[in-house]
Amino acid sequence: MPNQSPFDTTQNIFQNRDVLDVDDYQPEQLIERDEQIDEYASALEPILNGWKPNNIFVYGKTGTGKTATTHYMLNWLRHDIQEQSSAVEGSDKKDSNTTSSTNLEVVYLNCEALTSSYQVAVELLNDLRDEAHQVATRGHAPNDIYNWLFEEIDNRNGVVLVVLDEVDHIGDDDTILYQLARARSTNNLKNSNLGVMGISNDFSFREDLSPKVRDSLCEKEILFPAYNATELTEILKRRAEKALYDDAYDLGVLNSSAAYAAKDKGSARQAIDILRNAGDLAQKKDLDTITPDLVKEAKGIVERGRVSEMIGGLSPHGKYALHGLAIASKNNETPIRTKELYDYYRIVCQREQTDTLSVRALRDHLAELDLIGIAKEDQRNAGRGGGKYKQFDLDVKVDAVIEAFKSDTDVHHSMDNSF
Ligand code: ADP
Ligand code: MG
């Protein structure tokens, strides 16, 4: 063993790096979300009287504060209920205003790793049951699971609030939402009031819900718009004060991290990721401050990470289509028409030694690339009598795509020797 530890714990940059953890750190105050907080409050207020809350559907792009605002509201709700019950305990029982408090149980579930209604139902049931009565994740009839779930909810004798974050991951089968909505409206629940909140990154999820579920779940809808650069700078300021040493950054660093994220998707997630990565780079290089160059480098890292993630979710032919588009872009031929792009796509397939799909199938893949935000399509008029045609271009930096393909297992030929 060497006589010197390989770890270096001297810190010039981070006071507390965990504060820049996007998912685990809960900010005490939220910037520019007053309107959403008000709407949330009016929908949830009935709970404080022991009544049924409005069902809520929350939507907005990733990084717009949906999860953070939801936790903020739930924390206040628990706090106020707690105060209520201490007031009851401490009061003279004859004082009629303070004789009761509400039983509240919140079940918060992130559905990201759950891909069906059945899985969500089992998770909810197990969350409500104690250790000794957990059910197996498979092998039960769905009806049993739902009946047991409603039994548990009813046993609570109070208000049960079910929060399904990233609910769009359950896909087309919205049975769980249907069942929860139905339990509320029929006499399935005798002793408890149930409230349901669904949170979604995907705007089309709402449209695809069956009409009955939509009417019930979307009693109250709250939209979270993307942040602009000024708002993102404010968010970063609060975060940096706690996470970084005063001398380790200046306003310029925050401004440029925010500007990049605002220009891209208006996501606070991205802005915070850039700042944390810039801090890591400075730390690694043993510097005392985060420089503008490091912010630029950090943007590249975050962008590449995002692109890799998007590419990882594509089917092989989705990747070949994207690969063809990236080569076209490198050759300065984008925006490009589908017919011409098809030639690139065909060559990629040949090099990968796989059959080429039809032009029509390529179109479907291109539509998917557009949907996830890695490519963009625009409709063109071909002039007099020429009709309309579609053109495609990348919606991310071509170098990030090339870089991401280097470590992809479906695309074996790098673009370094393009054609
Ligand atoms: P979403 O759930 O919409 O994807 P999050 O709530 O996870 O977004 O927000 C992403 C990150 O940005 C989190 O770390 C969160 O704490 C922070 N954040 C988002 N909105 C705000 C805000 N208005 N004020 C302070 N921090 C915020
Ligand atoms: Mg979220």
- Residue 104, CB-side half-sphere exposure with 13 Å CA sphere: 29
What is the structure's pLDDT at 94?
Answer: 54
The CATH class that applies to domain 313-415 reads: mainly alpha
Ligand 1 nearest-atom number relative to CA 69: 6
- Common-topology check for domains 227-310 and 313-415: no
Residue 276: nearest ligand to its CA?
1
Choice from 38, 269, 275, 302 to test ligand 1 binding pocket (greatest atom count within 8 A of CB):
269
Q: How confident is the model at residue 115 (pLDDT cuts 50, 70, 90)?
A: confident
Q: Is the CB of 67 under 6 A from ligand 1?
A: yes
Closest ligand (CA of 275): 1
Those residues with Cβ within 8 angstroms of residue 94's Cβ, 6 or more apart along the chain or in another chain: none
Residues in contact with 126: Cβ distance below 8 Å, sequence separation at least 6, in sequence order: 134, 135
- CATH architecture under which domain 33-223 falls: 3-Layer(aba) Sandwich (3.40)
- Residue 68 C-alpha to ligand 1 middle, in angstroms? 5
Identify the pLDDT of residue 319: 95
Measured from the alpha carbon of residue 112, the closest ligand is 2
- By most ligand atoms within 8 Å of CB, the mutation choice from 19, 20, 22, 58 for ligand 1 is 22
Ligand 2 (ion): which residues have CB within 5 A? 67
- For ligand 1, atom 5, the nearest C-alpha belongs to 65
Q: Domain residues of the chain, as ranges?
A: 33-223, 227-310, 313-415
Interval 231-286: pLDDT, tens: 999 999 999 999 999 999 999 999 999 999 998 789 999 999 999 999 999 999 99
CATH number of the structural domain 227-310: 1.10.8.60
pLDDT at 367 over 60: yes
Query: Which residue has its alpha carbon closest to ligand 1 atom 9?
Result: 65
Calpha distance 211→198 (Å, rounded): 15
Instruction: Give strand ranges (E) for 48-153.
Output: 56-59, 104-110
The predicted model scores a pTM of 0.86
For residue 247 the two structure tokens come to 């001398």
Q: pLDDT tens-digit profile of 136-173?
A: 988 899 999 999 999 999 999 999 999 999 999 888 88
Q: How far apart are CA 162 and CA 177, in angstroms?
A: 10
Q: Which atom of ligand 1 is nearest to the CA of 32?
A: 23
CB–CB of 310/373 below 8 Å? yes
186 CB-near residues (< 8 Å, 6+ apart): none
Query: Distance (Å, rounded) from C-alpha 284 to C-alpha 101?
Result: 53
175 phi and psi angles, rounded to 5 deg: -50, -45
Ligand 1 pocket member 142 (CB < 6 A): no
Neighbours of 397 (CB within 10 A): 15
Q: Which atom of ligand 1 is nearest to the CA of 64?
A: 3
For the CA of 33, the closest atom of ligand 1 is 23
pLDDT tier at 118, thresholds 50, 70, 90: very high
User: Phi/psi of residue 85, each to 5°?
Assistant: -75, -30
pLDDT one-digit tens code per residue, 48-84: 988 989 999 999 999 999 999 999 999 999 999 999 8
